[in-house]
Amino acid sequence: MERPGISQIASRLKLSKTTVSRVVNNTPNSRISEATRAKVLAAVRETGYTPNLSARALARARTNMIALLFVDVTNPSIGEFVMANETRAGDAGFHTILCSTRASGSREEQQCQMLRQRGVDGLIIEHLGDHRHLVRMAEDGYPFVLLGPCEEAPWLDYVGFDELEGGRMAARALVEAGRRRIAHIGGQVGYHGAEERRLQGYLDVVKSAGLRAKPEWIFRVEKHEDRAMGRQAGLRLLDLPDRPDGICCYDDFLALGVFDAARDRGVRIPEELSLIGYGDLAMCSLLPVPLASVHLDMAALGREATRVLLEKIEHGSAQDGRQGRLIAPTVVRRESLGPMVN
């Protein structure tokens, strides 16, 4: 017979797994009512649940090491995050290990397991793939923080950017530039869930402005952060009979490809086409026509994610009691938008 676990107790009591885990592990400062605590402990006795003592002991052993797991460590946007993390962690006496999951969910799970076995005190994870190993870590009381919410387990602690508002900001900038036929070049379906939120932000603004979002103006690439994919998408859009006069791109690399497509088709930016990227990489301001972009403060993300992780390591939970924290993006207006008219 399978040993009862935190998931079964939480389901039975209609409580979150985090709440049950904090009671079972006697997490300090967890702000759980005595009535709820008594209910959980009664269920523990009735089911015969026994905590995973080896995992608990491992979680409580200190090595003063934390690890960052990124999908792609060659991505130029993570440098500021890593610097902010090392500063914040270093001030607290911790050292940082940097790992790449190479966009593989199975590799992510393997690396999480390996780092735990080696005594790493906590993880910051750019999650991609199956969420079940994250749930198991949370049930064991192992400290980690996700970069962005996990759609399948939204109760897991995360720090991320407000991607919905970022999508709105990008589309709104094009509306303010007087554009009426606004297209969206999106990233991979299901990638962090960020694509869905950015797309929804675009749709919100287009609708509120009284504009149409034609299906043929919404294009999804097979691989984001890829200039060639951006060019391919740009050519498809610019070859339409009713071609768009404004394009939101999921990231700055895709926007670079749209620049290439516009040059190939003789379309002038920003005179005939306004363009905005996402991420605000350093190259944006160096292009012949500087690229407007949605700026993501990676240093702020690094500081906040590290703060939350260190609190979880020290106290068992973040002291502000929140499970999700969103950082607001901003728009950096450059020549690719053209002048504001609205």
- Strands annotated E in 178-320: 182-186, 218-220, 246-249, 274-279, 292-295
Q: Check residue 137 and give left, alpha or beta (phi > 0: left; psi -120 to 50: alpha).
A: alpha
Per-residue pLDDT band at 19 (split at 50, 70, 90): confident
First-to-last alpha carbon distance for the chain, in angstroms, is 67
Rounded to whole angstroms, how far apart are CA atoms 17 and 185?
37
Burial grade of 286 (CB within 10 A; 0-12, 13-18, 19 or more): exposed
Chain segment 262-313, per-residue pLDDT in tens? 999 999 999 999 999 999 999 999 999 999 999 999 999 999 999 999 999 9
Q: What is the largest CA-CA distance in the chain?
A: 73
Q: Is 236:209 a contact under the CB 8 Å cutoff?
A: no
Instruction: State the chain's mean pLDDT as an integer.
Output: 91
Q: Please determine, for residue 179, whether its predicted confidence score (pLDDT) is greater than 50.
A: yes
Domains, the chain: 6-43 (no CATH), 61-160+299-326 (3.40.50.2300), 163-297+331-337 (3.40.50.2300)
Quick one: pLDDT at residue 92? Answer: 95
Q: What is the pTM of this model?
A: 0.80
Per-residue pLDDT band at 5 (split at 50, 70, 90): confident
Q: Which residues pair with 98 in a beta bridge?
A: 68
Q: Parallel, antiparallel, or unpaired for β 330-332 and 292-295?
A: antiparallel
Q: Please determine, for residue 57, whether its predicted confidence score (pLDDT) is greater than 60.
A: no
- Least confident stretch, 54-68, 132-146, 190-204, 220-234: 54-68
Q: Please determine, for residue 23, whether its predicted confidence score (pLDDT) is greater than 80.
A: yes
Quick one: pLDDT at residue 190? Answer: 58
Quick one: pLDDT at residue 187? Answer: 82
Quick one: pLDDT at residue 1? Answer: 45
Per-residue pLDDT band at 334 (split at 50, 70, 90): very high
Q: What CA dihedral angle connects 208, 211, 214 and 217, to 10 degrees?
A: -90
Chain segment 182-217, per-residue pLDDT in tens? 999 998 765 668 899 999 999 999 999 999 999 999
User: Residue 270 to residues 245, 251, 273, 275, 289: CA-CA distances in angstroms?
Assistant: 9, 18, 5, 7, 8
In the chain, the percentage of residues whose pLDDT exceeds 70 is 92
Chain segment 248-261, per-residue pLDDT in tens? 999 999 999 999 99
Quick one: pLDDT at residue 189? Answer: 65
3-state class percentages of the chain: helix first, strand second, coil last, to nearest 5: 45, 15, 40
Quick one: pLDDT at residue 45? Answer: 82
